[in-house]
Amino acid sequence: MPTSDFDVIAWTLGQQSVNQDCFRGHTGQLELWDRGVLMWQPLQPAGKDIVLSCGIHGNETAPIEIVRDIVHDILRRQHEPLQRVLFIFGNPAAISAGVRELDYNMNRLFSGAHQHGEAPEQRRAAQLEQYVTRFFEHATGGQRERLHYDLHTAIRDSYYEKFAIYPFQHGRPYSKKQLSFLAQCGIHTILLNQAPTTTFSYYSVNTHKAQAFTVELGKVRPFGQNDRSRFADTEGMLRSLLMQSELQLPEFTAEQHQVFAVERVIDRKHQQFQLHFADDVANFTEFPLGYRLASDGAQQHFIEHAGERIIFPNANVAIGQRALLLVREQPLAKLELV
């Protein structure tokens, strides 16, 4: 069974043999449901059911290190959560291989998008949906709060280092409490998705009515080369969320938050596709009105509105896939908040 120097990642990814799949702590137990899927069940759980996922993209190491260390502390019987928690290391095969993905971008395979084939990432996405369902639906004890933070790091630099994507809410209001929590995590930039997607966080929003976010913590670096002090706010707040019965958050203030909305999605439609800015341009970079962003066959894409910023550019996506998003800042006052 795991000891203090045990490699949690190797254990959860099935590279290190175990002779039991359940670990008993002082105040609960940790069940290994599958490679990289662990559920902490307190004997007397507080009111939240929390999914903490990382490694949906296998080379996004900082979130994997954060979740690994939280699990490791449980295995050392040091910090046992008061809340029920489902820990997910999303894409074990890609994590082992040190790559973002094997065949598919796994964060485009949820809400049924995995049904088109039997590739490992498609099968895994289907299984993760089942585990999340089992986790949320097997909770007992009345009205419970459902939360899911899907932790990522970006491929490129970002003008705003940390940001969270707030999935499409189908008209439901946005949560002041969640915005305050994210601000305490050091995340003051929020990107609102304006339509359904096939991301993991949207799956939890849409299928399980959870408060769920894709959280981007900074730029991808190899294992062991992350400057953990840059993630200290986030890690500290996640730990507090797990360990405390009810978080004491400061009162909501609009000035803490900067909100952007997705204005346009540019898909690649032709073999001849080119982005007209440097490869290392940061996410959230603003370009002047009229700037030519991309050529797609005979079609040209320009900055059409003042204040438009680019995010997640990738000229190498398959034809039909998203090559670029354009976002624009939106006054918080325009949002319906509860």
Site track for Zn ion across 18-57, x = CB under 5 A:
---------------------------------------x
Q: Using CB under 5 A, which of 114, 148, 152, 219 touches Zn ion?
A: 152
Active-site residue, selected from the candidate residues 101, 129, 216, 235: 216
Q: How far apart are CA 239 and CA 70, in angstroms?
A: 7
Q: Which stretch binds Zn ion (CB under 5 A): 152-160, 177-185, 223-231, 328-336?
A: 152-160
Within the chain, strands assigned E span: 22-24, 28-34, 37-42, 48-54, 84-89, 145-154, 163-166, 189-192, 211-219, 258-267, 273-275, 285-286, 292-296, 299-302, 309-311, 322-330
Give me Rg for the CA atoms of the chain. Answer: 20
* Chain centroid offset of residue 224 CA: 20
Q: How far is the CB of 199 from Zn ion (least distance, A)?
A: 10
Cβ distance to Zn ion smaller for residue 152 or 257: 152
Closest residue to Zn ion using C-beta atoms: 152
Least Å distance, CB 176 to Zn ion, is 27
Check binding of 68 to Zn ion (CB under 5 A): no
Sign of the alpha-carbon dihedral angle for 156, 159, 163, 167: negative
Closest contact distance (angstroms) between CB of 220 and Zn ion is: 8
Give me 88's structure tokens.
Answer: 């997910």
Q: Under a CB-based contact definition with an 8 Å cutoff, are residues 57 and 100 in contact?
A: yes
Please list the alpha-helical segments (H only) found in the chain.
Answer: 8-12, 61-75, 92-97, 120-137, 176-184, 200-208, 232-243
| Residue 108 interacts with Zn ion (CB under 5 A): yes or no | no
CB closer to Zn ion out of 57 and 257: 57
From 151-159, 176-184, 186-194, 317-325, span contacting Zn ion (CB under 5 A):
151-159
Identify whether 216 is a catalytic site residue: yes
Stretch that binds Zn ion, among 42-50, 146-154, 176-184, 205-213 (CB under 5 A): 146-154
Give the Å distances, CA to CA, from 174 to 178, 190, 204, 258: 8, 11, 15, 14
Judged by beta carbon, residue 253 or residue 321, the one nearer Zn ion is 321
Q: Which residues are catalytic?
A: 216
Name the residues that contact Zn ion, by CB under 5 A.
57, 60, 152
